[in-house]
Amino acid sequence: MRRIMAALLFVIIALSFALPVCAVGENAGKKAVSISLSNTVAEYSPSGHRPTADAGDFSHELRYEVKDSESGEVVRLPIREVGSYTVRAYINETATHGSAEAVASFTVTPATVYLNVPNQSVAHTAMANPVRYSVSPSWAAGMLDVKISYRAIKSLSDKGTEVEVPVDMGSYLVYMDATPLNEKVVCAGKYLIFTVGEVYGGPVSEDKALLSVPKEFKATVQTMDADYTGEPVEPEWSANVAGAECSLKYSRIYADGSNGEYTEEPPTDPGDYMAACFVLDTIIGSGRIVIKKVVAEIIMEDLVYTYTPQGVELTEATTVPEGIELKYAAYKYVNGQMGEAVDFPLVDCGTYLISAYPVDTYRYSYTDSVSYSYITIEKADVVIESKDVFTVEDGKYKGVSVSVFPDYVDYGVSYYKLEGNTARPITGVPLKAGNYYAVVTVKSDERVNSATAVYGVVIRSGVDENRVLARKIIKGLCHAFCFCGIGLGLCHIVLAKLRKRRL
């Protein structure tokens, strides 16, 4: 047993020393590697493109894997086609350093090429003088199909007359329509003013030779402010371009001063816009358009209501222009101060500040359109209905019957007995004969005003009531006998007169 325990102890001790040595042996002395690789956009070049990463001292060990982003196929370097690619730069692990990798996009766009016309004026020779040009960069010469048209013009405001080729002395508007033959290049084409004069004018500067649009082309675009109406806003404009095709395009101006993309659709919504006149891809004049938000007129009245348990619902405001959707908010208004917000219906008595403003604050001004009014909910007045009671003591309680409006109101009835000139409160409802009065009371609370009404309660005893009844009966009999006596007397008089007539 001791031998077994000793063997186990030896194994545990051996493992405790061996494991750390293995870990150090695998990682000790290795340097960390970091690769920096950025997304890249480059124009097409016949020589192709190679991605470039940075790994510091380990850059010489960089390897690249490029795949077509759409198809996933591996692409050999250099990249020679227009398209989007995914680049993985990596360094394999060695005995001295670890491994690393970085991934980025690489986009190759069509190259922009220009038509180069250095000689834009020639001497008159009575012979045809076609425009001579080259393509820049030169490697793109075979990638364009260029068609040239001419118009003889007298001024920039003159649309001129189409001619086959310049011959006579004068100025000509030249349009060079360039169609790319593949997706590797793009070219806007070219307008220029070509002159046939008495002498050769010499070559122009390189910048002017490459311009797509003459600097002489000018456009005037109206700068305007307009209120939002939901309809497109189009400024007035004019251009002196000697019959060249031009168009107006629009761009949103953002708060930071930057411009959005130009489109042919005129603006409709509120905001700042640039209206620019384009010839080919060149702006020859521009103006600013400001479409202002509509200041909506919101008509609200101060309203007064009487408290009801159902509360007060919102009364919609009217707007000018009509039909503007509004958002409402209600706040408690106490001692001239706006308090907490509350929801409709408004239930509690008091005064409320109501605000209304357009939901569409993109097209309608909030600060200039917001409107306020007040709703006051007053305490309800209470109506107490009852009547005086005249009755006979019969052993039953003789109280008043009461109804109140509004019917949700609690009320109390107190009874007082009249004893001479003194009113003494009693407990409960009158039972014995006597003169009483009932006081109906509604206490004021957060819903209703206080109210009080007084009614008489007269209870006669049964003995007194019988005496009164007997007196009435005797009095009635006396009247009856009197009427009977008078009637008999009249009968005797009539009979006597009849007897006399017979005789």
Give the model's pLDDT for residue 29.
67
Give the model's pLDDT for residue 478.
39
Q: Inform me whether the pLDDT recorded for 23 exceeds 70.
A: no
Q: Which of 6-15, 66-75, 298-307, 363-372 has the lowest mean pLDDT?
A: 6-15
For 235-276, the pLDDT digits (tens) are 999 999 998 999 999 999 999 999 999 999 999 999 999 999
Please tell me which residue, 171 or 30, carries the higher pLDDT value.
Answer: 171
Give the model's pLDDT for residue 468.
53
- Peptide linkage before 78 cis (omega within 30 of 0): yes
Give the model's pLDDT for residue 16.
38
Give the model's pLDDT for residue 471.
54
Determine what percent of the chain is predicted with pLDDT higher than 90.
76
pTM tops 0.85: no
Give the model's pLDDT for residue 475.
55
Please tell me which residue, 341 or 481, carries the higher pLDDT value.
Answer: 341
Q: What CA–CA distance (Å, rounded) separates 208 from 212?
A: 9
Burial class of residue 158, CB neighbours in 10 A (0-12, 13-18, 19+): middle
Spatial CB neighbours of 382, under 8 Å, sequence gap ≥ 6: 404, 405, 406, 409, 411, 442, 448, 449, 450, 451
For 180-194, the pLDDT digits (tens) are 999 999 999 999 999
Question: What mean pLDDT is predicted for residues 123-146?
Answer: 94
Average pLDDT of the chain to the nearest whole number: 87
Give the model's pLDDT for residue 463.
62
Angle at 489 between CA 486 and CA 494, to 5 degrees: 125
Give the model's pLDDT for residue 440.
96
Q: Inform me whether the pLDDT recorded for 497 exceeds 70.
A: no
Please tell me which residue, 376 or 503, carries the higher pLDDT value.
Answer: 376
Rg (C-alpha) for the chain, rounded Å, is: 54
Q: Which of 41-50, 302-311, 341-350, 478-487 has the lowest mean pLDDT?
A: 478-487
Q: Which of 15-19, 62-66, 217-221 has the lowest mean pLDDT?
A: 15-19
* pLDDT band of 369, cuts 50, 70, 90: confident
* pLDDT band of 201, cuts 50, 70, 90: confident
Q: What CA–CA distance (Å, rounded) separates 5 from 15?
A: 16
Question: What mean pLDDT is predicted for residues 140-167?
Answer: 94
Q: Inform me whether the pLDDT recorded for 11 exceeds 80.
A: no
* pLDDT band of 421, cuts 50, 70, 90: confident
Q: What CA–CA distance (Å, rounded) separates 283 from 213?
A: 9
Q: Inform me whether the pLDDT recorded for 498 exceeds 80.
A: no
Q: Inform me whether the pLDDT recorded for 205 exceeds 50.
A: yes
Q: What CA–CA distance (Å, rounded) separates 426 from 457?
A: 13
Burial class of residue 460, CB neighbours in 10 A (0-12, 13-18, 19+): middle
Question: What mean pLDDT is predicted for residues 34-56?
Answer: 96
Give the model's pLDDT for residue 435.
95
Question: What mean pLDDT is predicted for residues 62-77?
Answer: 96
Give the model's pLDDT for residue 321.
86
Question: What mean pLDDT is predicted for residues 223-235?
Answer: 94
* pLDDT band of 132, cuts 50, 70, 90: very high
Q: Inform me whether the pLDDT recorded for 436 exceeds 70.
A: yes
Give the model's pLDDT for residue 496.
54
Q: Inform me whether the pLDDT recorded for 415 exceeds 90.
A: yes
Half-sphere exposure of 304 (CA within 13 A, CB side): 3
H or E element, residue 474: helix 462-502
Tell me how long the chain is: 503
Question: What mean pLDDT is predicted for residues 415-435?
Answer: 93
Dihedral, CA of residue 38, residue 40, residue 45 and residue 46, to nearest 10:
60
